[in-house]
């Protein structure tokens, strides 16, 4: 059986990740491709419990790292890896790049510690492709405020969101083979079309198998 593809969506608050995950899943399923939608933190009962704890409290960056990593280890082993093995495509709303950015580049946790934990919680199941949705900080904030129910990350100051955007751009540039930086300031339809074009070039046209 051919392994499924593992696609992750990353970006700052209100970048439009959840919207694009749903759009892509709809399109893949319409084309007969079995697709699972999942998210981080979360994705398993334990992961969802960790999500409640970590989004509700304000732990130290290294505590956050360990909590997100615990949720991720369960998620990869119990949901992502089995689905891929079964030939199912997995679309995940946030994954390793969120940790590298929030806990690493912004939280100050050393990259070698993050990398070592990835080797035990994720490897060899790294994403085949990652869309990093890039929106100006004020646009992302406007969208999350309009949606309501802000998390403690959403509620940070504007200067934090500017740094967040820069950090995601930096993370994307560090792995240009895997990460595609997308202009997320366009309409949802335009972004969905661009994502589909990119995906088709990578996987369907055989540029990457």
Residues of this chain that interact with ligand T5A (CB under 6 A) are 11, 13-19, 40-41, 68, 94, 98-99, 102-103, 143-144, 146-147, 151, 153, 187-188, 191
Task: Pick the closer one to ligand T5A by CB: 11 or 127.
Answer: 11
Comparing CB distances to ligand T5A, the nearer of 89 and 102 is 102
Q: Name the minimum Å distance from CB 202 to ligand T5A.
A: 22
**Smallest distance, Å, CB 29 to ligand T5A?**
18
Alpha carbon separation from 58 to 38, 52, 53, 173 (Å, rounded): 24, 12, 9, 29
The number of angstroms, rounded, from the C-alpha of 166 to the middle of its chain's C-alpha atoms is: 16
Shortest separation between residue 33's beta carbon and ligand T5A, angstroms: 21
Closest CA to 133 of 3, 19, 2, 37: 19
Who's near 96: CB < 8 A, 6+ residues apart?
8, 72, 118, 122, 126, 127
Of the pair 143, 202, the CB lying nearest ligand T5A is at 143
Of 16 and 127, CB closest to ligand T5A:
16
The DSSP letter of residue 2 is: P
Classify the phi-psi angles of 12: left when phi > 0, otherwise alpha if psi is within -120 to 50, otherwise beta.
Answer: beta
User: Considering the complex, what minimum distance in angstroms separates the CB of residue 11 from ligand T5A?
Assistant: 6
The Cα–Cα gap between 163 and 20 comes to: 23
Q: How far is the CB of 19 from ligand T5A (least distance, A)?
A: 3
Q: Hey, what are 56's tokens?
A: 């509700």
Whose Cβ is closer to ligand T5A: residue 57's or residue 188's?
A: 188
Pick 119 or 205: Cβ nearer ligand T5A: 119
In the complex, minimum distance from the CB of residue 127 to ligand T5A, in angstroms, rounded to a whole number: 13
Q: Where are the beta strands (DSSP E) in 68-192?
A: 89-93, 129-134, 179-183
Helix (H) or strand (E) holding 89: strand 89-93
For strand 179-183 and strand 89-93, is the pairing parallel, antiparallel, or unpaired? unpaired
């Amino acid at each position: 059986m051919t392994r499924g593809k593992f696609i992750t969506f990353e970006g700052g608050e209100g970048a439009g990740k959840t919207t694009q995950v749903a759009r892509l899943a709809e399109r893949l399923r319409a084309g007969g491709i079995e697709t699972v939608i999942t998210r981080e933190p979360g994705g398993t009962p334990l992961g969802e419990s960790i999500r409640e704890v970590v989004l509700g409290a304000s732990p130290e960056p290294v505590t956050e790292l360990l909590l997100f990593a615990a949720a991720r280890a369960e998620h990869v082993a119990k949901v992502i890896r089995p689905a891929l093995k079964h030939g199912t495509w997995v679309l995940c709303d946030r994954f390793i790049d969120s940790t590298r950015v929030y806990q690493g580049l912004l939280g100050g946790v050393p990259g070698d510690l993050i990398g070592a934990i990835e080797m035990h919680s994720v490897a060899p199941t790294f994403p085949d492709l990652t869309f990093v949705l890039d929106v100006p900080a004020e646009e992302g904030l406007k969208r999350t405020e309009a949606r309501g129910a802000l998390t403690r990350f959403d509620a940070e100051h504007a200067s934090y969101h500017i740094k967040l955007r820069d950090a995601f751009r930096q993370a994307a540039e560090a792995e240009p083979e895997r990460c595609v930086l997308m202009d997320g300031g366009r309409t949802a339809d335009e972004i969905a079309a661009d994502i589909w074009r990119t995906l088709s070039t990578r996987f369907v046209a055989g540029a990457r198998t």
